[in-house]
Amino acid sequence: MPNVKVLLNEQIEKLGNVGEVVSVKPGYARNYLLPQNLAVIPTPGEIKRIQKKKELLEKQYQEERTKAEEIGKKLTEIGQIEIAAESGEAGKLFGSITAKDIAEKISDELGIPFERKQIILKKSLNELGEYDIKLKLHNEITAQIKLVIKKVE
């Protein structure tokens, strides 16, 4: 049986982006894409509707990117953040500093919400000192900030 053409409503990995007409097996279209509303049959009306949706998504994407760039500039201006923590004699912390702690501190400093999933940590931090922390602000934009963990006075 020949492949059928469908118009994608959503971005599907390894298949295509929103608004693309792709050729797929009839069973995949009939049993998965169409019932899940991930794709539709490409009629002229549907193509027009998807183009509008695609333009709207592109505009949103650009706004998010601009916002991320502004946050990146603010982070560069701040340069570093400090977190005070309880520690023992050798500089080991009682507990650890996690992405959640760092996100809360950045939120306080910038005055805007910042999520822990935007912070790239290989492991939680459990010693006093300075660390370079990577932040994912957008799909294409990352930033870096210096974190100083100091002993509570």
What is the C-alpha separation between 102 and 115, in angstroms, rounded?
9
Residue type for position 119: I
Name the helix (H) or strand (E) containing 74: helix 44-78
Per-position pLDDT tens, the chain of length 153: 789 999 998 888 899 888 889 999 999 999 999 999 999 999 989 888 888 888 898 899 899 999 888 888 888 888 888 888 888 888 888 888 888 888 898 888 888 888 888 888 888 788 888 999 898 888 888 888 899 988 887
Per-residue confidence (pLDDT) for residue 38, from 0 to 100: 92
Domain boundaries, the chain: 4-63, 67-151
What is the pTM for the complete model shown?
A: 0.66
What's 4-63's CATH class? alpha beta
CATH architecture designation of domain 67-151? Roll (3.10)
Matching residue, tokens 């169409």: 34
The packing angle between helices 44-78 and 99-110, to 10°, is 80
